[in-house]
Amino acid sequence: MSDTLIRAGWLIDGTGAPPQADVDVLIRDGKVESVSPRGGSPKGVRVVDAPEATLLPGLVDAHLHLAYSGPNPTWNAVKDKPDLLLAWAGRNCRLALASGLTTVGDCGAPRMAGLRLREALRLGLFPGPRVQVCDQPISTTCGHTYDISLYADHIDEIRKAVRYLCQQRVDFIKVMATGGSMDPETNRRRASYTVEEMRAVVEEAHRLYKRVVAHVNGTEGIRNAVWAGVDQLAHCNWLGVEDGTIEYDEEVAAQAARQGTWVDFNINAGINPLATGDGKSEDWSRWENPPRTRWDLVDRMRKMGAPVLLSSDAVGANYDRLITYLPKLVAAYPDLRPEEAVHMATLAPARCMGLGEETGSIEPGKSADLLLARGDATDGLKCLPDIERVYLRGVEAVRYEEGQVWVGGAT
């Protein structure tokens, strides 16, 4: 592997630190060797001169689905055919990598599909990002994603399901703590499990060194998940029990902040008015600045100290959500600095996934997972979707050139 020096016009390193101008990043043996002000070119080093581009860490999407989709005709055609399903998931891996994602968390797939995908990537059968998988989610009978889930309707079944998944060597456990919008008969506003049942998930998973991601749309399920000690709240929509209502629970939010529960915020739903999707707001008279969107609720948690990550919940082919919506979020919230938004889409999710020492930021000793975007991303990240190159472990994995995109050497 040859050494590479990237000479970028701007650098946002993923740590949350202010952007830097005119920076050299030296890659050696697949890792970041140094980050320094622009200087001379060492001999024997391949130089990528990008004075009009911004270098960032490769994006880390801790919540998407590479081998699962909802009402998608292609998925419906391949879901019961393991060989075709793996081929479809492989295509999705290429799309994800081409969208600047270098690390992802696959948050639910049909039985063994996630595990097969992870093994295929390890063997280099097709290009794709670094991946963690939960394989099958745990859900109740008539629970969210019942079409792919392991059913567990009481504590004994829950413990057995967690043990089974850990035996299959999944990377983390996903539990459907409320219903979901994709299958409305499940009721996304109500909890699927009690606190005691959720605690059984957490106890078994943590005993076997696995973190727990809880799908939670409704406040009832958020409460149970937080009191049970889950590691990651996916969605965290604060939907009230009654249709068309939102019920933000300050006490539960404060507890989540105290115990360091990660809030997994789907970025594409963040800037829509609350009333258009989640329902009418409760009485916000006690708030100095009443929330307008779901981001306002999550940002309140963030300011209380809860760690927040940005994700996409992408399925099918929409893996560019994260890179597309980052500038939209920054534009909608001028007090959100570009480097903060990048941090929540790189190092923050990497830390949540237990990978913060390996990837997620551009620092010496870390894997050279990099994204080069054309233009000055410090200007509200507006240029971010305009990808020039993506590096994975120091190797150029994606290159956009003359209207063509190469992924892993294939056009």
Give the right CATH number for 59-319 from 3.30.70.3040, 3.20.20.70, 3.90.1170.10, 3.20.20.140.
3.20.20.140
**Whole-number percent of the chain with pLDDT over 70:** 96
pLDDT tier at 269 (50, 70, 90 boundaries)?
Answer: confident
Q: Which top CATH class is 4-58+361-407?
A: mainly beta
d(CA 119, CA 105): 14
Please give the average per-residue pLDDT across 241-266, as a whole number: 95
Bigger pLDDT: 121 vs 269? 121
pLDDT tier at 173 (50, 70, 90 boundaries)?
Answer: very high
pLDDT tier at 350 (50, 70, 90 boundaries)?
Answer: very high
Predicted pLDDT at 272: 81
Q: Which of 245-249, 288-292, 360-364 has the least mean pLDDT?
A: 288-292
Please, which residues bridge with residue 21 across strands?
A: 10
Domain ranges of the chain: 4-58+361-407, 59-319
- Cα atoms found within 13 Å of the Cα of residue 75, Cβ hemisphere only: 18
Predicted pLDDT at 316: 81
Please give the average per-residue pLDDT across 27-51, as a whole number: 93
Per-residue pLDDT at 282 exceeds 80? no
Predicted pLDDT at 295: 94
What 394-402 contacts at long range (C-beta under 8 Å, 24+ apart), as own/partner pairs, is 394/1, 394/4, 394/27, 394/28, 394/29, 394/30, 394/31, 394/367, 394/368, 395/1, 395/30, 397/97, 397/102, 397/127, 398/97, 398/98, 398/100
Predicted pLDDT at 317: 83
Please give the average per-residue pLDDT across 246-274, as a whole number: 93
**Whole-number percent of the chain with pLDDT over 90:** 86
Please give the average per-residue pLDDT across 280-300, as a whole number: 80
CB neighbour class for 286 (10 Å; exposed up to 12, middle 13-18, buried from 19) = exposed
Predicted pLDDT at 184: 86
Angstrom distances, CA of residue 298 to CA of 149, 255, 257, 318 = 28, 14, 11, 23
Mean pLDDT of the chain: 94
Would you say 322 and 285 are in contact if contact means Cβ atoms under 8 Å apart?
Answer: no
Q: Which of 104-118, 187-201, 338-352, 395-409 has the least mean pLDDT?
A: 395-409
Please give the average per-residue pLDDT across 62-75, as a whole number: 91
Q: What is the pLDDT of residues 75-107, one digit of tens each?
A: 999 999 999 999 999 999 999 999 999 999 999
Please give the average per-residue pLDDT across 344-373, as a whole number: 98
DSSP 195: H
Q: In terms of Cα–Cα distance, which of 150, 149, 144 is closest to 181?
A: 144
Q: What are phi and psi of 232, to 5 degrees?
A: -145, 125
Full-model pTM: 0.97
Of these ranges, 64-78, 268-282, 340-354, the one predicted with the greatest mean pLDDT is 340-354
pLDDT tier at 43 (50, 70, 90 boundaries)?
Answer: confident
pLDDT tier at 243 (50, 70, 90 boundaries)?
Answer: confident
Please give the average per-residue pLDDT across 398-410, as a whole number: 88
